[in-house]
Amino acid sequence: MIMTFYKYQGTGNDFIIVDNRLQSINKNDTKRIERLCHRRFGIGADGFILLENDENTDFKMVYYNADGNESSMCGNGGRCIVAFAKFLGLIENETEFIAIDGLHKAKIEKETVQLQMQDVTEIETFENHQFLDTGSPHHVEMVSNISDFEVRTKGAKIRYGKPYNATGSNVNFVEQLATDKFEVRTYERGVEDETLSCGTGVTAVALAMHKTAKTKSNIVSLKVQGGELKVTFNSINNGYKDIWLIGPAELVFKGEIEW
């Protein structure tokens, strides 16, 4: 079967997106998805996303990591699939869709997609790091000289180490640039490498930095390897609500490939 795919990127976190409203894709073909995401043997991407029909919302997002396994929520992928839904004519500038972690609202303004994330009620705070789930699990740790930091080796050690073990966690290294601005580099679980950006990751960083009083602002800028994102939120008694991840999402190219 010939499959039409669309390659999208959001601050350098890149995805293969396929319109699967006709259910033509075999969703359990882990090896095939891994090969398509491979940067030498395939199209190349950090993740693979299916857009499917949903009875109660505009569409459903099904997300796979580059290793071919279905995973938890992807924030940048969520912003990219919203841009794709608009490209398909499924939505205009506002939408509600369903993903693995629940309902998401989103808004589009030119190239910028704002994605509402789930409320966060728990941030575990340790001496040198925080751990929280923003749709995907994230370890957040402050470092100095982030541009020279060995993200891949140090990230892998934390991702596979205790207490995360085989299930793992994404790992974000952070350096403060201003009162409301941080630089973030992320080791992504399922890609098993540093990616140029991670949407659930910068969301976790913004909330963790607020929780630990590194910032008082509820509008936080995050510099990532592939550009800049913003996270806005409201602080409540037991956590954070009205969390929005904001940044660009772009169609890079369209193609056809044997599935």
Ligand X SMILES: N[C@@H](CCC[C@H](N)C(=O)O)C(=O)O
Instruction: Cite the annotated binding site for substrate by residue number.
Output: 13, 65, 75-76, 170, 188-189, 199-200
**In angstroms, what CA-CA distances link 102 with 162, 212, 255?**
28, 27, 30
Q: Which of 73, 198, 207, 220 is catalytic?
A: 198
Among 95, 136, 215, 221, binds ligand X (CB under 6 A): 136
**Who contacts 151 (Cβ-Cβ below 8 Å, separation ≥6)?**
173, 185, 186, 187, 194
Among 7, 189, 211, 223, binds ligand X (CB under 6 A): 189
Told to check if 14 binds ligand X by CB under 6 A, we report no
Task: For the CB of residue 146, give the shortest distance to ligand X in the complex, in Å.
Answer: 19
Task: For the CB of residue 69, give the shortest distance to ligand X in the complex, in Å.
Answer: 8
Residue 80 falls in the annotated catalytic set: no
Grouping H, G, I as helix, E, B as strand and the rest as coil, residue 31 is helix
Grouping H, G, I as helix, E, B as strand and the rest as coil, residue 219 is strand
In the complex with ligand X, which residue's Cβ is closer, 46 or 183? 46
Among 14, 133, 180, 188, binds ligand X (CB under 6 A): 188
Among 68, 155, 199, 248, binds ligand X (CB under 6 A): 199
Told to check if 172 binds ligand X by CB under 6 A, we report no
Contacts 24+ apart (CB under 8 A), 233-238: 233/206, 233/207, 235/210, 238/121
The one segment of 73-81, 105-113, 140-148, 213-221 that binds ligand X by CB under 6 A: 73-81
Characterize the bridge pairing of strands 137-142 and 170-178: parallel
Q: Distance between CA atoms of 189 and 184, rounded to whole angstroms? A: 16
Q: Distance between CA atoms of 197 and 13, rounded to whole angstroms? A: 5
Q: Which of 25, 51, 61, 74 is catalytic?
A: 74
Helix ranges (DSSP H) in the chain: 30-37, 75-87, 151-160, 199-211
Told to check if 76 binds ligand X by CB under 6 A, we report yes
User: Looking at the annotation, which residues are catalytic?
Assistant: 74, 198
Q: Point out which residues bind ligand X (CB under 6 A).
A: 13, 46, 65, 71-72, 74-77, 136, 170, 188-190, 198-201
